[in-house]
Amino acid sequence: MGCFCAVPEEFYCEVLLLDESKLTLTSQQQGIKKSTKGSVVLDHVFRHINLVEIDYFGLRYCDRSHQTYWLDPAKTLAEHKELINTGPPYTLYFGIKFYAEDPCNLKEEITRYQFFLQVKQDVLQGRLPCPVNVAAQLGAYAIQSELGDYDPYKHTAGYVSEYRFVPDQKEELEEAIERIHKTLISITVKKKKVELIWSTKNVCLKDLFQ
């Protein structure tokens, strides 16, 4: 860590993505420095994910008091004092900043998938409480995305319990997820993901990110 202190302009951060993977951005690899604008950092992340519909997304960070801020594309990294005071290294969180008013406005499958991942994450972490029936649907689509169609030879009793979807997950919810998963086929999942994103947002917590 000492090398970062010796060279004040150098920057090293990990971006946590919605699929739980990490993207490392450094001065050495991407040429990002503290004088780099937030828009450049965002562009690196968008290219990594292959996002085209970028207006809905942003990067968050937390200060030492765990208060959350959005990275300002127009400001340099050095101007984000709350971020700079936390490192190095630094941590940024990729996520949805604005929901589309109409899901039909989303043209790209990768965009819809990121929305799906955001809702899934928020439900799991308790930021987005939702009815059991909606949580069951969300869990079933997540299982479908992860495991594919239900196969009785592969998916033995209790297979859903290996995954977590809500903070206080109960057996009744897992059984409901399994029942729904058995009815899904791959061709239906893309459409259902989009429907679920907006039903969850509207039923659970309107305007979550505003």
Band of residue 177 on the pLDDT scale cut at 50, 70, 90: very high
Alpha helices in 72-170 (DSSP H): 81-84, 109-124, 132-147
Q: 17-32 pLDDT, tens per residue?
A: 999 999 999 998 999 9
Report pLDDT for 102. Answer: 72
Mean pLDDT of the region 104-129: 85
Q: 60-74 pLDDT, tens per residue?
A: 999 999 999 999 999
Q: How far is CA 146 from CA 8, 21, 181, 194, in A?
A: 43, 15, 11, 17
- Assess contact for 77 and 26: CB atoms under 8 A: no
Which domains does the chain show, CATH number per domain? 2-96 (3.10.20.90), 103-204 (1.20.80.10)
Residue 6 in this model has a pLDDT that exceeds 50: no
Show Cβ contacts of residue 154 under 8 Å, excluding neighbours closer than 6 positions: 147
Place of tokens 């169609």: 149
- Assess contact for 166 and 135: CB atoms under 8 A: yes
The least confident of 35-39, 90-94, 125-129 is 125-129
